Chain A
Amino acid sequence: MKYGVYMSGPIRLKPPLSDEDVEKLKIGDRVMISGVIYTGRDAAHKKLFDLLKEGKDLPIDIKGQIIYYVGPTPAKPGQIFGSAGPTTSYRMDAYSPSLIERGLKGMIGKGMRSDVVKEAMRKHKAVYFAATGGAGALLAKRVKKAEIVAYDDLGPEAIRRLEVEDLPVIVVNDVRGNDLYIEGEKKYRT
């Protein structure tokens, strides 16, 4: 399997994403995301999950959308968004399959996902991207607009609607069940 070779430069994506959009992606692809994405981490995920369990509507329409697992630093005066690298994703694993089933097409975080999440991505056609953990200052500069759209009371964990430009991410899990964390390690182990 070939990956990590990108002679043609990064792929550009703009949500909302269709099945066809995500089917084209394969592990190791570098992707630049522009347009609207949503933030959400531990507490917001639990709230969304509980609403779905009760059969209620979600505060945002997640169909075709991408959720970024991030808890930013407070923005300085004059800054659009504080430092904003990804948080570790496995803590969202219990909630992600229900969201994927409802049409979520992408997740951005860092670290390996569970088999259940990977299976949900395969079945319902969704992908998982890694952003560079710890590159908070660089990633913040790609956010052009940020507004809280749900759960204001959660502070850094509130759901925000972000307008991003060229947010750099890498495809880690594709719709065919491949995992770059496994394949990448295998390739370079000696």
Chain B
Amino acid sequence: MREISVKLITEKVRDLCIKANTDLGEDVLQAFDRAKGKEESPLGLEILKELKENARIAKEEDVPICQDTGFTIVFIELGQDVHLVGGDLNEAIQEGVRQGYRDGYLRKSICHPFTRANTGDNTPAIIHTEVIPGENVKITVAPKGGGSENMSRVVMLTPSDGVEGIKQFIVQRVRESGSNPCPPTIVGVGIGGTFEQAALLAKKSLLRSLGSKNPDPELDKLESGILNEINKLGIGPQGLGGRTTSLAVHILMMPCHIASFPLAVNIQCHAHRHKETII
């Protein structure tokens, strides 16, 4: 049994909120470079260059990549041999978000659904906790912008829709989203499970490194097939026309009920922010 103070969790969450919002991952920058090699639209190329320059400025000057510093989503993988001491884990995470958004000069974007009154400190964060073997705690902070989240959907397809039905729904969703989710996007897909599990799978699929292969060869093939169809749409960077509508399609799949065929599409903007640490 290993003891970990929740104060350490607060500290790590605070730092991850700031780092995720100011330091775009190397995998995303490399994906921009790959896209630049294929983009035919002069405006599209110009935008891809701007995105790289923007990421450079944000990192160097320690300022947010995007003004929408997002809803803070926190994934916790808690080793079952860890004993958390010194307080409430949930509250420790919320406090980390509070401190991160205050100290990092990040925008507070969370409000009451009806009155639209801002909560003032970007809490509550969305927390997904999973208990795993071992005595470590893995924390991932993934701020999610409103524009791309608004373009996401969950649908309960009919089993007879098959793989073709999945392809059609995803490509159609990207087409209808147009310029709204700030393309080039990353398309997170969850297949199977239940209504809420499909959405969580789609969200989690976004955490995989860009440019990496899906470990399941069948899904890997499906990912490249769908990406190819998406990039024929012509939407392009920022929706102004071009070849780079999406940088990647990521799929996570699990078994579903014999009567069901759930599909979730979680669209992620090019400001694809997530950072993790292991305690």
Contacts and interface: CB of A to CB of B under 8 A. Distances in A.
Interface in A74-100: 74-76, 79, 82-85, 87-88, 90
Main SS at interface, chain B = loop
Interface string B39-62: 011110011001101110110011
A70 B67 contact: yes
Contact of A135 (B54, B106, B179): B54
Contact of A75 (B43, B58, B105, B235): B105
Nearest to A10: B46
Contacts of A172: 240
B234 A187 contact: yes
Interface in B190-210: none
Given A188-B40, A188-B241, A138 B50 contact: yes
B124 interface: no
A130 B240 contact: yes
A4 B66 contact: no
B242 interface: yes
What range describes how many residues of A lie at the interface? 35 or more
13 contacts: A4-B41, A83-B64, A85-B67, A110-B179, A130-B240, A133-B269, A136-B67, A137-B58, A138-B57, A170-B43, A185-B178, A185-B236, A188-B235
Contact of A132 (B50, B58, B180, B233): B50
Interface in A129-184: 130, 132-141, 155-156, 168, 170, 172, 180-181, 183-184
Given A134-B54, A137-B54, A168-B50, A156 B107 contact: yes
B50 A135 contact: yes
A73 B105 contact: yes
A24 interface: no
A112 B178 contact: yes
A185 B147 contact: no
B10 interface: no
A83 B63 contact: yes
B226 to A, nearest CB: 15
B217 to A, nearest CB: 27
B67 A184 contact: no
Interface in A86-121: 87-88, 90, 110-112
A136 B54 contact: yes
Given A73-B106, A133-B147, A138-B57, A180 B240 contact: yes
Interface in B18-54: 40-43, 46-47, 50-51, 53-54
Of A5, A84, A85, A141, chain B has the most CB atoms within 10 Å of the CB of A85
A84 B179 contact: no
A34 B67 CA distance: 21
A45 interface: no
A40 interface: no
B54 to A, nearest CB: 4
A112 to B, nearest CB: 6
A189 interface: yes
10 A-B pairs with least C-beta separation:
A184-B241, A189-B234, A188-B234, A137-B58, A138-B54, A133-B182, A135-B54, A83-B64, A137-B57, A136-B67
B243 interface: yes
Contacts of A73: 63-64, 67, 69, 105-107
Given A112-B178, A133-B182, A133-B269, A170 B65 contact: no
Contacts of B68: 85, 87, 136
A188 B242 contact: yes
A72 interface: yes
